[in-house]
Structures are given as C-alpha cells and as structure tokens.
Amino acid sequence: MAAPYDREDGMPPAPPPHAADAAYDPNYVPDSVKTFVAHLYRHIRDKNVYEIHQMYEGGFQRLSDRLFRDAPWPSAEAVAPYCDGDHVFLLLYKELWYRHAHARLSPLTAAHRAESWTNYCDLFSVVLHGVVNMQLPNQWLWDMVDEFVYQFQSFCQYRAKLKNKTEDELQQLKQFDKAWNVYGVLNYLQALVEKSMITQILEREKEGLEQFTATDGYDYEGGSNVLKVLGYYSMIGLLRIHCLLGDYHTGLKCLAPIDLNQQGVYTIVIGSHISTIYHYGFANLMMRRYVDATREFNKILLYILKYKQYHQKSPQYDQILKKNEQMSILMTYKHKMHAVDSDGKIVSSADFDFYIVEDIIHVVESKPTKSHGDYFLRQILKFEEMIGELEKVQLD
C-alpha cells in the first residue's frame, strides 16, 4: 500500500498548515481521536449508517471545535494503526483532513491543494474501478461532491491571484500545474454519473422498476449506495461547474434526469436541495428564462424561511444563510423597483407581471425579455460586489 501522503512527483509531502507551531505534532493522536477513528472504522465495516452519520455530523465537528480549532487533525499515517491500515478508510479520513484544513486553516499552499486533489483522484478511482462494499450517509456523499467543486473553485481563485505571491509559491504553481485541471474535474464527475448508471436508474424508476428515491438511495439488500449516490450528486456538481464556466445550457442538460417537480434524493440533504435550486435558477436567469427562475427561487426561499431554524447547529448553517442572501438579491434585481402613482396604486416597471400574496410571488405573464436581460447583465458586477460585502457581514 502506498504511504498516505505519497505524491506522483516523488517529492516529500508539504508540511501541514501551522506546522511551524511547535504545539502541533502530526504524529500525536489524542485518546479521543483514537476512539473516534476506531469506532468510525467499525461502523463503516458494519454498514451502520445511523452511527456513521452521528459520528460524521456530530463527533467530527465536536472534536474539531475542541482539539483542532486552529490546527490540523493528526496525519493519516498516525491514525492508521487504529483502522487496521485500511486503504479506503484512510482515503476517507484524508478527505475529512483536507476539508478541515480548507475550512479552518491558512495559509494553504499549492502543495496542500495538490495533495487534496490527489486524494480525491485516488478516492474516486477506488469507487469507479474497485469494489466498494460500504454504505455511507447521503450527507457525507453530498459533502464529498460539494467540497470537490468548492476546492476546484478555491484553487482557481488562488491561482489567479499572482500579484502578492512569493517566488516559492509561483514555483509550486508551476510544479502542480495539473492539479485541479478543469477537464480532470469534469471527467471525474462525468465518470461517476456514467459508471453509476444513475440516468438509467432514474428512467427505470419512472416505470416502477426501481426504488432509488423511495429508499433514499440506500441499498437494503447488502450492497453499496456509494457509487449510485455519488453519481446522482455528481449531476448537481456538473451543473455547478458549468455555471462557473458560463455554459448554462450544458449545466441544465446535466441536471435534466432529476425531476425538480418532485421530491428526490437531492431534497434529503438541505445543502444539496438549496445548491440545486440556486444553480438551476441562476442558469435559467442567465438564459433569460425568468419565469422558471422566479418559480424555483420562490419555492426555495420559502423552504429556507420555514426550516432554517432546525439547522442552526448544522455545519451548513452559514452556507444556508449565504445562499438565502444571494437568491434574495437575485430576486431583487429581477423585479427592479416599483413606483406609486397619485392614486396609491403600484405601477410595476418589471419586465413581466406578477403580484405578491403573503410573501409568495405569483407570475402572471411574461413580457419581452430583451430589456430585462440587458438590465440584469448591467447589474451583475454590482451584484458580485454586494455578495463580496455580504461575506464580510457577521450574521446572528
């Protein structure tokens, strides 16, 4: 088995973020982490999805807050004895390790980001080409795809800001020029969709020949849900990537097998639900399908309003609030301003007619879209600036 941090270039692994801090020893494993790793490994072997979910959503976050608020978790080599050195489990552990590093630690070098890319490649290759006999919670599988896309976007932003980089940082970017390549990211997501045969599964489900949605994607006959559910969420990941690339038509085409008019596996995880509707609505906006975008934004904003109180302790809570703000701003730009005439009647200057009853927007009819589309495109830079400012605001 390859060492946990071996790299294709043969170079030694980069020191962890904050490695200069003498208080951090990557080989020191607290007793609580030993217990956590041993129990998580046992539950994964036993396919105990409930306990895996409890440890993933609760235990990992509590240990991170208590022991690793501003430091990395122990290295995969250090925890290997507590999971029998299991290769697949260590890939999952490193996926959590790098996700924690991206969320809480800085600075992350190009080497750290490249190592995370290599770990995702190894993990997805096992899923695509190996035999994976385990069941993982949908939340974890969604978070894998979500984090994969996020780290791609984060690396692109990091690579684009060259002005203040040192010579060593520039050299690392040249050294790891193949990490987070857009074609590689697209290829892995597309491969997961195709290998899982999720499109065919969803088609057969419409004919009553499959129970994918009814079982929330889980396999209750002793099999694995990992490939199928990763393939399902990868369709949403492809929509997000194509939205980043500005190819909205292809993005919507990737999402087409999922029926947004019905409950589905995408609605089980709140992060998946919000991300799907947000990017679907945004793609429709950019293609000037304003009625479709308004309808979906309206539904998801009401959903967030109704259920966000139940997710205040969730690690996704801040992201839920952020997406709520982004969609609210999009809706504001769509509808423009209203004037009041001398009789006190509201005169709409929007490019389609609508009325509001109990905070629900009802679209009546569509008007010519050209002027509205031009207006939206003129405002997009202001929208991006406002999002940047919102990210700095501390929400209660």
Question: According to the model, what pLDDT value does residue 389 have?
Answer: 61
Residues of the chain with pLDDT under 50: 1-11, 19-21, 333-361, 365, 367, 370, 395-396
Question: According to the model, what pLDDT value does residue 243 have?
Answer: 92
Question: According to the model, what pLDDT value does residue 260 have?
Answer: 92
Q: What is the pTM (predicted TM-score) of this model?
A: 0.77
Question: According to the model, what pLDDT value does residue 288 have?
Answer: 84
Question: According to the model, what pLDDT value does residue 300 have?
Answer: 79
Question: According to the model, what pLDDT value does residue 391 have?
Answer: 56
Question: According to the model, what pLDDT value does residue 221 have?
Answer: 87
Token digits of residue 200: 């065919």
Pick from 58, 124, 61, 137: which is nearest to 88 by CA? 124
Question: According to the model, what pLDDT value does residue 308 have?
Answer: 61
Question: According to the model, what pLDDT value does residue 162 have?
Answer: 86
Question: According to the model, what pLDDT value does residue 292 have?
Answer: 86
